[in-house]
Amino acid sequence: MSKGKGNDTSLSRRDFVKTGAVAGLGATGLGGLVSCAASGQEGGQAWDRTADFVIVGAGTAGLAGAVSALEHGASVIIVEANYDIGGHGILSGGRVNLGGGTSLQRTHGVEDSADHVFEDWINHESLQSRYSDRAMVRAFADENASTFEWLVENGVDFQDTLISSGGMVERQSRAFQWPVYEELITSYPTRHGSGLIRALEKKARENGAEILLLHKMTRLVREAPTSGRVLGIVAEHEGEEVRLRGTKGTLLATGGHTSNVHFRRMFDPRLTEEYQVAGEPYTPQAADGELAAMAIGASLWSTANQTMEAGSWISKTAHIGTRWGYGNLVWLPDSPMFDRTPGSGLSEVDWQNAIMVTDMGRRFYDETGRGHGFYNAALAYHGNPNKLDGGGPIWAIFDADAVARQGWEIGPPYVDPAGDWFFMADTIAELARSIRSPYQTAPMPPAALEETVARYNSFVDSGIDEDFGKPTPRNRIGRPPFYAAWSTPILHDSLTGLRTNPRAQVMDLNGEVIPGLYCAGETQGGFAQHGLARCIVFGRIAGREAALDGQMV
């Protein structure tokens, strides 16, 4: 089993090939790597490749932008840093929150309108819609229904069910999981996003898009450093610089910033390096697009969206004892990512079977609790002078009885007791001493953990948690051996990003459009919506706008 350390989760094609993973799609994609003929001088610059529309990132927004630009007659090159396409979207649950009167809604007798969508997403009573840019939401709402039909026309196969979306009517649809097993990144059966993403990829390729894998954008090229039109990008491929000209525009669809510790700490300094990110190790949200655009003068937008204490940009780990234990995103042994993980984790955790402690060995909250009260307590200062910001690792502590009650198997492929994310020992004191993690910045004091467990056991005797009000603590932690499993909250959404207008054109700090530069997906700011819908809508808008080169109103 691999032993993940630090934050280095970068992939290379060589690594990928070595793991003997998915061959079919990857091989098709890699075919695009061979031709990089120079396409001459333009705008005083030398370009290796030219297309009407250069898209950075082959995820949800990038692929939507490609299909859209192609149907409006533009030629498209997509550069993708990863060895395969898909970004977060291909790992997602495939729920698409598009309504406004879709054919699927009509089939199910649901009446909806663009106005309803707009009203739902600007509701001032909800933190999650209070801070969004209403012009952005209006554009989203107005293109909701047409975007859903456009997805269907472009080959996305949706299930014949509507799922509640929390708004005034049911809107969400869900794609079918992609049927080609070899083209899945995780075969976990709820990962329907593969159906959306592979369908869009197929359509984009059919219509002539070229996808350059393992090409990482390093910067944008603008006529002058902070003025004039964006001409294209510079990417890095196997150590070589590749310059790509987008004559009608460049789309940043790089997936957001959550994996970039410095970037995310601009909004919340508590989010230090120990917080892992959903979607890794397949696809890091590295802030590539944000940094490149800010370097040429772009503005961020709606940054309050990133710090509102609502929603699930952070969540409890659903799988413990592994590095990435996010919700339904499980790295099964058949995944090409599996050997980069410390295991798929111990799942279906019943928090009556375990306590959670800080890096200092103290409880901090009712373990059965949820929501931002829990996260704020987890991210608080816990008395470790080496760790002033961030809350440090959170460990689930449990005993042999808990393992039996849960029916867990200790060991691969679930957890790796020799790694950095799961530990076992004969006594509580030895368990505290055994914890060695890249993010455990000071040894856990054994006496503190012993005291914590003894005190918790007295709460089990009395049935009352005098410290944190856990509802009727049920089970002592007593029978050896004892276990410590990584349970640090995990991050997800990027909810702020680059300022754009409703036409997905990136804007600068003076509120002026940066000509030739577009943005969509989680790199785009202004609209704090979890999931795929906003990425698809604004990707589609960007593709169309660029193809028509600002001619459409």
Phi and psi at 338, nearest 5°, equal -60, -40
475 binds other proteins (CB under 8 A): yes
Binding part of the chain for other proteins, among 246-254, 477-485, 507-515, 539-547 by CB under 8 A, reads 477-485
146 binds other proteins (CB under 8 A): no
Residue 92 Cβ vs other proteins, minimum distance, rounded to whole Å: 8
474 binds other proteins (CB under 8 A): yes
Handedness of CA 508, 510, 514, 517 (dihedral sign): positive
187 binds other proteins (CB under 8 A): no
Phi and psi at 307, nearest 5°, equal -120, 5
Residue carrying structure tokens 């990089």? 36
Strand, helix or coil at 395? strand
Binding string, residues 289-318; x marks residues near other proteins by CB under 8 A:
---------------------xxx--x--x
Considering only 10, 12, 307, 472, the residue that binds other proteins (CB under 8 A) is: 472
DSSP 8-state assignment for residue 367: T
Cα–Cα distances (Å) from 261 to 70, 258, 399, in that order, read 36, 7, 34
- Residues 355 and 482: beta-carbon distance below 8 Å: no
Strand partners for 173: 96
| Helix (H) or strand (E) segment spanning residue 466 | none
Cα–Cα distances (Å) from 473 to 245, 401, 487, in that order, read 62, 15, 19
Residue 427 Cβ vs other proteins, minimum distance, rounded to whole Å: 4
- # binding residues, other proteins (CB under 8 A): 61
Strand partners for 356: 396
Binding part of the chain for other proteins, among 99-107, 253-261, 322-330, 502-510 by CB under 8 A, reads 322-330
Considering only 106, 458, 509, 512, the residue that binds other proteins (CB under 8 A) is: 458
Considering only 165, 194, 272, 335, the residue that binds other proteins (CB under 8 A) is: 165
Distance CA 406, CA 392 (A): 27
Residue 174 Cβ vs other proteins, minimum distance, rounded to whole Å: 9
Say which amino acid occupies 294.
M
Cβ closer to other proteins: 72 or 95? 95
Residue 525 Cβ vs other proteins, minimum distance, rounded to whole Å: 16
Handedness of CA 362, 365, 370, 375 (dihedral sign): negative
Cβ closer to other proteins: 36 or 400? 400
Of the candidates 154, 143, 228, the residue with the CA atom closest to the CA atom of residue 515: 228
Segment 46 to 105, residues that bind other proteins, using CB under 8 A: 93, 95, 97
Residue 227 Cβ vs other proteins, minimum distance, rounded to whole Å: 38
- Residues 112 and 164: beta-carbon distance below 8 Å: no
479 binds other proteins (CB under 8 A): yes
Binding string, residues 382-401; x marks residues near other proteins by CB under 8 A:
-----------------xx-
Binding part of the chain for other proteins, among 26-34, 224-232, 246-254, 522-530 by CB under 8 A, reads 522-530
Residue 492 Cβ vs other proteins, minimum distance, rounded to whole Å: 8
166 binds other proteins (CB under 8 A): yes
Handedness of CA 9, 12, 18, 19 (dihedral sign): positive
| Helix (H) or strand (E) segment spanning residue 210 | strand 210-212
Say which amino acid occupies 391.
G
478 binds other proteins (CB under 8 A): yes
Residue carrying structure tokens 């059919």? 206
Binding string, residues 337-376; x marks residues near other proteins by CB under 8 A:
-----------x-x-x------------------------
Distance CA 537, CA 98 (A): 9
Radius of gyration of the chain (CA): 24
Binding part of the chain for other proteins, among 79-87, 103-111, 335-343, 450-458 by CB under 8 A, reads 450-458
Considering only 5, 462, 512, 552, the residue that binds other proteins (CB under 8 A) is: 462
Q: How many CB atoms lie within 10 A of CB 412?
A: 15
- Where do runs of H (alpha helix) occur along 296-445? 371-378, 400-406, 428-434
Residue 425 Cβ vs other proteins, minimum distance, rounded to whole Å: 8
Considering only 295, 454, 509, 552, the residue that binds other proteins (CB under 8 A) is: 454
- Residues 422 and 399: beta-carbon distance below 8 Å: no
Binding string, residues 98-127; x marks residues near other proteins by CB under 8 A:
----------------------xx-x--x-
Beta-strand relationship, 513-519 and 240-252 = parallel
Binding string, residues 532-551; x marks residues near other proteins by CB under 8 A:
--------------------
Considering only 388, 461, 510, 553, the residue that binds other proteins (CB under 8 A) is: 461
430 binds other proteins (CB under 8 A): yes
Distance CA 96, CA 159 (A): 11
Cβ closer to other proteins: 327 or 550? 327
Distance CA 66, CA 60 (A): 10
Residue 504 burial (C-beta neighbours within 10 Å; 0-12, 13-18, 19+): buried
Distance CA 89, CA 47 (A): 31
Binding part of the chain for other proteins, among 31-39, 99-107, 421-429, 498-506 by CB under 8 A, reads 421-429
Chain residues that interact with other proteins, rule: CB under 8 A = 93, 95, 97, 120-121, 123, 126, 128-129, 163-167, 172, 190, 310-312, 315, 318, 326-328, 348, 350, 352, 399-400, 405, 425-430, 433, 446, 450-451, 454, 457-458, 460-463, 472, 474-476, 478-482, 492, 528-531
